[in-house]
C-alpha cells in the first residue's frame, strides 16, 4: 500500500502544477463546449480538432510570417473562430429544426477530415514551438521550482474563464443569448438578429478552444493528434460538471486537473482513469452532473423518413428473404475471399446491435466499442491462456460483454439523448484505459496467435470453410434474434418509447425496464461480434476498444440507415470495402471517413435503405398507392 506521507513534497507540488496546467486546458475547452451546447444545442465534436488548429495556426504564423507568440494569442483564435463561423453558416445552420444527433455526427466527420488532412501533410510526429523569451525560466519557491510559462498558462486561463462567465451571465449580450435560446421569436421582435447572434456565439466558443491550442503549443509539441484523446477527457469533464453549465465547466475543469495531478503523484497507473471513475461516481449521485439541471434532455429521435423504417413483409416475403439470405451466405465464400466475407459478417452483426439500440431504442451509444472489444479480449484470452474450445471462448466473451452492458446500463439509461451519448463515450474510455493497463490484455501488443481450436472437439476451425460455416451460423442466429426482438410486442413497445417516452410511461409501461433490457441485449450482441472477430483474425488489440471503433459502427449504421437491420449489412459491406481498398492511402482514409460522415448527414440521412424505402413509396404513389401504405406493399 502506498504511503502518501512518504512522497517528497516537491513531487506532490510538481504534479499539482501539472494538474493545474491540464485543468486550464480542460476548463477552456469544456467552457467552449458548454457555450456551444447551451446556446446552440450542438455537441461540438470537432472541438478537439479546433484546439489543434489553434496550435497549428500559431506554428504557421511563427514559421511562415515570423509572427511570435504574442501575435498568435490574438490572431489564432480569430482565424479559427472565423473558420468555425463559415462552417456554422455553410453546414450546421442547415441542420436547424432536425434532430441534434446530426449536428454531433456532422462535427465528428469534420474532426476526422481536419485531422486526416494535417496528418497526411505533417505526419504524426510533433512540431516544436519554443517558449516565448519573456516567459522563459522560472522561480525557485523553496518547496518547488515554478516555470514562468506554466504559471502564465494557469493565470491567463483563469482570467479568460472568469471573463467569459461574466460576459454570459452578467451582461446584456449574455442575457440576449440566453433569451435567444429559449424564445428566439420574442427576441427578434426587439430587432435582434438571432441567427447572427448564435453564429457569433459558436465562433466565440471555438475561439476559446483555439486559444487553448496556442497556450499548449510551447508545452506540448504541435501535432495533428493533440486534440483527439484530449477531447474525450473534456467530454467527461463536461458530463461531470453538467452539460451546458458555464460555471460547472470552469470549476470542474480545474478540479479534475488537480485530482488527476495528485493521483499521478500517489498512484500514476490510475491517473488516466481517475476522471472517468470520478464521472461514474458523480452520475450515481447526480445523473445531471454537479451543476447540471435536473430536467432531462429530449430524446434522440429522428423522423420516420430519416430512420428509414424497415419495409414490412408478409409471410411469403419473410420466407423469401430468409431463403435469399441463406443462398447468399452459402455462395459468398466461393465468389469472395472468405476472410473478407467473415469480416463483413462480424461488422454487420456489430452494426445491427447498434441499430437495435439506437434505431429502435432511441439510445445513441458512443461506447459500443467497449462491448465489442471486451468480447474480443475475453475470447482471445480464454482460447489462448485457458485453452478452452472455441464455443466456450465465444460464450466467455459473450458473457463478459453482457456483464459490462449491465454495468453501463445501470449508469447511463437514466439520461437521454446527447447526455446518454457522452456518458457511454466516457465509460467506454474508462474500459479502454483498463484494457491498456490490465496484465492479461498484453497492453499495446494485444493478444496474438489466438488458437481457433476444434468446435465441439470435432470441427477444425483452422480450415477456412469450417470457420466460415461457424461464423455464418452464429451471425445468422444473432440477426434472427434481432429480427425477432423488433417484430415482437417488446419491439413495438420499444419503438413507442423511442418516439414518445412520457406517453409510453403514462400508458403503464416501465420504460426504464425496456431500455435496460434492449441495452444489455445490444451489448451482448456487440460482444458476440467481437468474440467472432478474435477467432477469425486470431488477435485482440486496443483498436477493438478504442473510441474510433465506436465511430466506425455509427458510420456503418449511418450509411445503411439507422432504422433498418438491413442497413447494418449495407453499411458493413460499404465500410469494410472502404477499409480494404483504400487502406494504402494512409491518413487519407481518415479524411474519407470524415467526408462520408458529412455527405451522409447532409444528403443521405436515411441511409441506403432509407433511400430505397423512399423510392418505393414514391413509385407506389405514382401507381396510385397512398404514401402511408406504399412501404408496406408487397
Chain segment 540-591, per-residue pLDDT in tens: 999 999 988 998 899 898 888 887 787 888 888 888 888 777 777 777 888 9
366 with 271, same domain: the answer is no
326 with 273, same domain: the answer is no
Average pLDDT, rounded, for the chain? 85
pLDDT higher for 305 or 589? 589
Tell me the three cell numbers of residue 462.
483452422
pLDDT higher for 501 or 324? 501
% of residues, the chain, pLDDT over 90: 38
pLDDT on residue 628: 45
Predicted confidence band of residue 244 (pLDDT cuts 50, 70, 90): confident
What value does the mean pLDDT take over residues 116-121? 91
312 with 452, same domain: the answer is yes
Is the pLDDT score of 405 beyond 90? yes
348 with 492, same domain: the answer is yes
In a domain, 130, yes or no: no
239 with 322, same domain: the answer is no
pLDDT tens readout for residues 521-551: 999 999 999 999 999 999 999 999 998 899 8
Contact 441, 374 (CB under 8 A): no
280 with 332, same domain: the answer is no
309 with 280, same domain: the answer is no
Domain CATH code at residue 85: 1.10.3470
- Give CA–CA dist 345/576, Å, rounded: 10
- Give CA–CA dist 122/599, Å, rounded: 26
Q: What is the DSSP string of 77-137?
A: HHHHHHHHHHHHHHTGGGGTTS-THHHHHHHHHHHHHHHHHHHHHH-SSPBP-PPPGGG-S
98 with 167, same domain: the answer is yes
Chain-centroid distance of CA 609 in Å reads 23
pLDDT higher for 339 or 314? 339
pLDDT tens readout for residues 254-299: 999 999 988 888 888 778 888 888 887 887 778 778 887 654 444 4
- Give CA–CA dist 450/506, Å, rounded: 51
pLDDT on residue 184: 75
DSSP category for residue 309: P
The residue out of 225, 256, 285 marking a domain boundary is 285
pLDDT on residue 507: 86
pLDDT on residue 323: 74
532 with 563, same domain: the answer is yes
In a domain, 298, yes or no: no
DSSP category for residue 6: G
pLDDT on residue 633: 36
Question: Could you give the 3-state DSSP secondary structure of residue 7?
Answer: coil
Query: Half-sphere exposure of 334 toward its Cβ, with a 13 Å CA cutoff?
Result: 5
pLDDT on residue 254: 93
Work out the widest C-alpha separation in the chain, in whole angstroms.
Answer: 87
Task: Look at strands 145-147 and 138-140 and give their pairing.
Answer: antiparallel
What value does the mean pLDDT take over residues 146-154? 90
In a domain, 617, yes or no: yes
279 with 352, same domain: the answer is no
In a domain, 128, yes or no: no
Tell me the three cell numbers of residue 601.
448527414
Tell me the three cell numbers of residue 213.
491550442
Is the pLDDT score of 60 beyond 80? yes
582 with 494, same domain: the answer is yes
pLDDT tens readout for residues 440-499: 998 888 999 999 988 988 888 898 899 999 999 999 999 989 988 988 999 999 989 888
Is the pLDDT score of 312 beyond 60? no
In a domain, 136, yes or no: no
The residue out of 257, 285, 313 marking a domain boundary is 285
Tell me the three cell numbers of residue 560.
445503411
In a domain, 251, yes or no: yes
Is the pLDDT score of 371 beyond 50? yes
The residue out of 285, 314, 348 marking a domain boundary is 285
Domain of 594?
Answer: 304-628
pLDDT on residue 279: 83
Q: How many domains does the chain fold into? A: 2
In a domain, 135, yes or no: no
For the chain, how big is the Rg over CA atoms in Å? 25
In a domain, 58, yes or no: yes
Tell me the three cell numbers of residue 284.
450515481
270 with 339, same domain: the answer is no
pLDDT tens readout for residues 186-239: 777 777 888 888 889 899 999 999 999 999 999 988 999 898 878 888 988 988
pLDDT on residue 213: 95
Amino acid at each position: 500500500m502506498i504511503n502518501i506521507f512518504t512522497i517528497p513534497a516537491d513531487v506532490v507540488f510538481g504534479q499539482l502544477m501539472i494538474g493545474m496546467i491540464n485543468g486550464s486546458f480542460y476548463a477552456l475547452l469544456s467552457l467552449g463546449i458548454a457555450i456551444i451546447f447551451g446556446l446552440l444545442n450542438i455537441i461540438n465534436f470537432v472541438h478537439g480538432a479546433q484546439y489543434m488548429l489553434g496550435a497549428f495556426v500559431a506554428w504557421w504564423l511563427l514559421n511562415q510570417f515570423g509572427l511570435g507568440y504574442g501575435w498568435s494569442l490574438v490572431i489564432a483564435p480569430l482565424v479559427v473562430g472565423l473558420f468555425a463561423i463559415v462552417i456554422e453558416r455553410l453546414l450546421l445552420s442547415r441542420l436547424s429544426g432536425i434532430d441534434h444527433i446530426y449536428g454531433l455526427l456532422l462535427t465528428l466527420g469534420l474532426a476526422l477530415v481536419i485531422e486526416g488532412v494535417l496528418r497526411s501533410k505533417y505526419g504524426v510526429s510533433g512540431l516544436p514551438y519554443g517558449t516565448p523569451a519573456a516567459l522563459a525560466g522560472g522561480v525557485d519557491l523553496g518547496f518547488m521550482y515554478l516555470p514562468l510559462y506554466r504559471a502564465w498558462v494557469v493565470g491567463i486561463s483563469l482570467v479568460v474563464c472568469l471573463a467569459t462567465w461574466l460576459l454570459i451571465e452578467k451582461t446584456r449580450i449574455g442575457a440576449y443569448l440566453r433569451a435567444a435560446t429559449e424564445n428566439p421569436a420574442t427576441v427578434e421582435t426587439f430587432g435582434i438578429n438571432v441567427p447572427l447572434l448564435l453564429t457569433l456565439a459558436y465562433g466565440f466558443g471555438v475561439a476559446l478552444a483555439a486559444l487553448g491550442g496556442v497556450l499548449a503549443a510551447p508545452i506540448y509539441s504541435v501535432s495533428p493528434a493533440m486534440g483527439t484523446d484530449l477531447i474525450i477527457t473534456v467530454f467527461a469533464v463536461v458530463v461531470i460538471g453538467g452539460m451546458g453549465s458555464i460555471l460547472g465547466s470552469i470549476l470542474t475543469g480545474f478540479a479534475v486537473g488537480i485530482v488527476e495531478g495528485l493521483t499521478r503523484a500517489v498512484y500514476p497507473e490510475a491517473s488516466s482513469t481517475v476522471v472517468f471513475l470520478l464521472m461514474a461516481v458523480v452520475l450515481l449521485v447526480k445523473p445531471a452532473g454537479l451543476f447540471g439541471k435536473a430536467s432531462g434532455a429530449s430524446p434522440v429521435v429522428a423522423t420516420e423518413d430519416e430512420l428509414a423504417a424497415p419495409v414490412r413483409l408478409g409471410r411469403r416475403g419473410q420466407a423469401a428473404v430468409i431463403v435469399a439470405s441463406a443462398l447468399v451466405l452459402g455462395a459468398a465464400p466461393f465468389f469472395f475471399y472468405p476472410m473478407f466475407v467473415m469480416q463483413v459478417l462480424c461488422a454487420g452483426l456489430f452494426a445491427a446491435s447498434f441499430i437495435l439500440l439506437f434505431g429502435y431504442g432511441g439510445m445513441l451509444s458512443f461506447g459500443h466499442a467497449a462491448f465489442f472489444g471486451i468480447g474480443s479480449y475475453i475470447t482471445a484470452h480464454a482460447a489462448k491462456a485457458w485453452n478452452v474450445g472455441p464455443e466456450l471462448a465465444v460464450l466467455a466473451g459473450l458473457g463478459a460483454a453482457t456483464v459490462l452492458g449491465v454495468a453501463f446500463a445501470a449508469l447511463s439509461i437514466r439520461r437521454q439523448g446527447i447526455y446518454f451519448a457522452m456518458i457511454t463515450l466516457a465509460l467506454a474510455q474508462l474500459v479502454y484505459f483498463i484494457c491498456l493497463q490490465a496484465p492479461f490484455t498484453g497492453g499495446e501488443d494485444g493478444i496474438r496467435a489466438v488458437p481457433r481450436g476444434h468446435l465441439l472437439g470435432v470441427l477444425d476451425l483452422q480450415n477456412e470453410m469450417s470457420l466460415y460455416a461457424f461464423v455464418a451460423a452464429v451471425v445468422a442466429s444473432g440477426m434472427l434474434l434481432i429480427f425477432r426482438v423488433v417484430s415482437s410486442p417488446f419491439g413495438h413497445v420499444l419503438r413507442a418509447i423511442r418516439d414518445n417516452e412520457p406517453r409510453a410511461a403514462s400508458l403503464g409501461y416501465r420504460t426504464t425496464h425496456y431500455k435496460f433490457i434492449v441495452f444489455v441485449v445490444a451489448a451482448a450482441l456487440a460482444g458476440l461480434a467481437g468474440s467472432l472477430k478474435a477467432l477469425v483474425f486470431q488477435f485482440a488489440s486496443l483498436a477493438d476498444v478504442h473510441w474510433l471503433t465506436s465511430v466506425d459502427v455509427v458510420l456503418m449504421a449511418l450509411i445503411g440507415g439507422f432504422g433498418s437491420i438491413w442497413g447494418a449489412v449495407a453499411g458493413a459491406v460499404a465500410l469494410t470495402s472502404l477499409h480494404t481498398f483504400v487502406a494504402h492511402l494512409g491518413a487519407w482514409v481518415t479524411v474519407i471517413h470524415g467526408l462520408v460522415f458529412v455527405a451522409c448527414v447532409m444528403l443521405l440521412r436515411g441511409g441506403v435503405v432509407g433511400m430505397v424505402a423512399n423510392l418505393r413509396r414514391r413509385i407506389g404513389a405514382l401507381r396510385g398507392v397512398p404514401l402511408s401504405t406504399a412501404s408496406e406493399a408487397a
